[in-house]
Structure 1
Amino acid sequence: MRIFGLAAALAVAVALSGCAGGPQNGPDSTPEEAAAATYRHDGPPAITLYTMINNRSGSGAHTSIMVNGSQRVIFDPAGSVRFAGVPEIGDVLYGVTPTIERFYESAHARETYHVRIQHIEVPAATAELALRLVQQNGSVAPAACTTATSAILQQLPGFGSISRVLFPNKLADQFATLPGVTERKLYENDSDDKAIAIAELEQRLRTRDQAGQ
């Protein structure tokens, strides 16, 4: 599917805060929809920690993780970005292709927030355990995104230094001490309104797609 065709299909329901959660995200997709969207990334097994950080205060606003195992998913606990074209069950987003990965990251980076992205390769068994834990966790209560994520990470082999914490920046700092972690930061100048920012992103994707025709 061309990028524009995919982007146009991604109708997004958003809330104003990071760890918003709650019923505004709509009902879960069906297991059949999630299975049909399964995406297996050809990269090594890995876990990516996302931390959304306020550009003015430096405080963390939201935490999520991407797991690359037998399939690639994003666990977005109490998250406020949901894609109509991407199945979601219990705060787990399925079918995380490279385009969806970029779209997810860009949806969170805007003039008031940037994204701290930390990546670590793990044994296949560790990635599968992480995948199973996020799928079993279920939906997370508002403001509990970091607590839920850290509780999952601390159950993984090799992540024993991770303690259960409430604040996103504290978890990111703990994650940074794990051997082999790489890090990058994503800054964008989109509007503070996520709905506007996402609309602008879709326009950029549309322009890119048309230029490639």
Structure 2
Amino acid sequence: MKRRIFLLGCAAASVAGCTVPNKDSSASDEVIARAAYRHDGPPALTLYTMVNNRTGAGAHTSLMINASQRVIFDPAGSVRHSRIPERGDVLYGITPVVEDVYTRAHARETYHAVIQHVEVPAAVAEKALRLAQANGAVAQAQCAKVTSGLLAQLPGFESIKVTWYPNKLSEQFGALPGVSTRELWEDDPDDKAIALAKFNEQLSAAGQ
């Protein structure tokens, strides 16, 4: 029965983009350095959980890290664009425009995004960044497992237990002191390509 439940979870994750074929995503050092973006807000971690609107099941987990630069650790994710440099499931150059596009690409008629944010000491954010960069590409259906394992290594996050389930990780993260939670619901068609197609227009308008 446990195996059957796990396989069903994998199927749901596949629809949301947590099970995609691993690929070579190795932007050069020069490209990554050129794209690096430092957000002027305080050091922080933002956990994204994509939730199936029909079943309530968690479908994908990712983590935005605001440290010496702002990145998104998107393990086995599927929101990719030629203008967002990536290496080992870490997306670079997370400007406000990129953050908005990334979030809205997940929130559509079939899924909504739970966005949980917490400020952390600079050293904690920097350690999260280094762990994400050192992790490398993540195997299929392991987004929550790897993200929870990363968080559990951070000072102040010792209560996080490793889990395969995005909703379980979201519950644990939400129980931490200082976490704010919001949800993003949209009624766009169930096609991330539509959101990404608008991305170039937004970048051009923002002068990026």
Common topology (TM > 0.5) = yes
1:16, 1:194 within 8 Å by CA — same for their partners in 2?
Answer: no
Shift in Å at residue 194 of structure 1?
A: 1.7
Whether 2:26 is the aligned partner of 1:20: answer no
Specify the alignment match of 2:140 in structure 1.
142
Specify the alignment match of 2:180 in structure 1.
182
Specify the alignment match of 1:71 in structure 2.
69
Instruction: Tell me how far apart the structure 1 counterparts of residues 112 and 120 of structure 2 sit (CA, whole Å).
Output: 26
Q: Please list the CA deviations of residues 21-42 of structure 1 after superposition, one character each: whole Å capped at 9, or x if unmatched.
A: 324x553211221111110100
1:75, 1:91 within 8 Å by CA — same for their partners in 2?
Answer: yes
1:65, 1:74 within 8 Å by CA — same for their partners in 2?
Answer: yes
Whether 2:70 is the aligned partner of 1:83: answer no
Specify the alignment match of 2:150 in structure 1.
152
Shift in Å at residue 198 of structure 1?
A: 3.3
2:62, 2:73 within 8 Å by CA — same for their partners in 1?
Answer: yes
Instruction: Tell me how far apart the structure 2 counterparts of residues 203 and 16 of structure 1 sit (CA, whole Å).
Output: 24
Instruction: Tell me how far apart the structure 1 counterparts of residues 83 and 139 of structure 2 sit (CA, whole Å).
Output: 24
Instruction: Tell me how far apart the structure 2 counterparts of residues 118 and 136 of structure 1 sit (CA, whole Å).
Output: 24
Shift in Å at residue 193 of structure 1?
A: 1.9
Structure 2: any 5+ residue segments left out of the alignment?
Answer: 1-13
Specify the alignment match of 1:172 in structure 2.
170
**Aligned runs of 1:16-55 on 2, under 5 Å?**
16-23=15-22, 25-55=23-53
CA RMSD of aligned residues (A): 2.0
Q: Return the TM-score normalized by structure 1.
A: 0.85
Give the residue type in structure 2 aligned to 1:20. Answer: T
Q: Return the TM-score normalized by structure 2.
A: 0.87
Give the residue type in structure 1 aligned to 2:55. Answer: S
Structure 1: any 5+ residue segments left out of the alignment?
Answer: 1-14
Q: Compared with structure 1, are the counterparts of its residues 209 and 72 closer, same or farther at alpha carbon in structure 2 (3 Å cutoff)?
A: closer
Give the residue type in structure 1 aligned to 2:18. Answer: C
Specify the alignment match of 1:114 in structure 2.
112
1:52, 1:108 within 8 Å by CA — same for their partners in 2?
Answer: yes
* SS, match of residue 29 in structure 1: coil
Shift in Å at residue 126 of structure 1?
A: 0.3
Percent identity over the alignment is 59
Instruction: Tell me how far apart the structure 2 counterparts of residues 128 and 17 of structure 1 sit (CA, whole Å).
Output: 29
2:97, 2:202 within 8 Å by CA — same for their partners in 1?
Answer: no
